[in-house]
């Protein structure tokens, strides 16, 4: 007898997160012997940045994000964060974020509102 297979939105969300973590862990493992910086394109709420920061040892992580709204504890120090406003070409006019945030790597006191 065939059992109906139901994927709820919760199931889909969990599957997406599990896949995301598996891909990140695979990339971390595959590049473990490499030196040099790690680049993240798209910070979002900072979950993947936080994962990289905890698991990648001894390498700087540089992040590109056009609109920084990450969780304060998952926000890179300004020196490693490049933010390009919407509508500007990152190829022609890159610039550092000018948002008012702490300059040290301890950005827990940022005024940026945490996202779920
Ligand atoms: C799906 S989110 C990233 C999710 C995140 N890595 C996480 O923790 O799951 C994609 C992010 O990429 C950023 N983004 C998309 N296109 C961009 C661009 N051309 N330049 C800079 N940031 C960009 C968006 O603003 C958004 O925050």
| pLDDT beyond 90 at 93 | no
Q: What average pLDDT score do residues 47-70 get?
A: 96
According to DSSP, the residues that pair with 96 across neighbouring strands are 82
pTM: 0.75
Find how far residue 1's CA is from the centre of its chain. Answer: 44
Residue of the nearest CA to atom 1 in ligand 1? 44
Q: How many CA atoms lie within 13 A of 43 on its CB side?
A: 29
Q: Measuring from atom 16 of ligand 1, which residue has the nearest CA?
A: 42
Q: At residue 88, does pLDDT exceed 90? A: no
Q: How far apart are CA 101 and CA 49, in angstroms?
A: 17
Q: State the burial class of residue 18 (Cβ atoms within 10 Å of its Cβ: 0-12, 13-18, 19+).
A: exposed
- 3-state SS, residue 64: strand
Q: Which of 19, 44, 81 to mutate to test the pocket of ligand 1 (most atoms within 8 A of CB)?
A: 44
Question: What integer best gives the mean pLDDT of the chain?
Answer: 82
Task: For residues 2 and 45, give the distance between their C-alpha atoms in angstroms, rounded to a whole number.
Answer: 40
Domain edges within the chain = 36-85
- Mean per-residue pLDDT for 64-86? 92
Ligand 1 neighbour 94 (Cβ under 6 A): no
Q: Note whether 48 and 20 are within 8 A (CB).
A: yes
């Amino acid at each position: 007898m065939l059992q109906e297979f139901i994927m709820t939105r919760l199931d889909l969300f969990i599957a997406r997160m599990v896949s995301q973590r598996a891909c990140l862990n695979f990339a971390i493992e595959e590049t473990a012997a490499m030196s040099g910086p790690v680049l993240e394109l798209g910070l979002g709420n900072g979950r993947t940045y936080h994962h990289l920061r905890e698991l990648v040892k001894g390498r700087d992580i540089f992040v590109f994000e056009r609109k920084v709204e990450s969780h304060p504890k998952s926000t890179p120090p300004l020196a490693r964060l490049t933010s390009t406003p919407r509508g500007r070409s990152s190829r022609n006019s890159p610039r550092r974020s000018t948002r008012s945030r702490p300059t040290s790597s301890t950005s827990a006191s940022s005024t940026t509102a945490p996202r779920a």
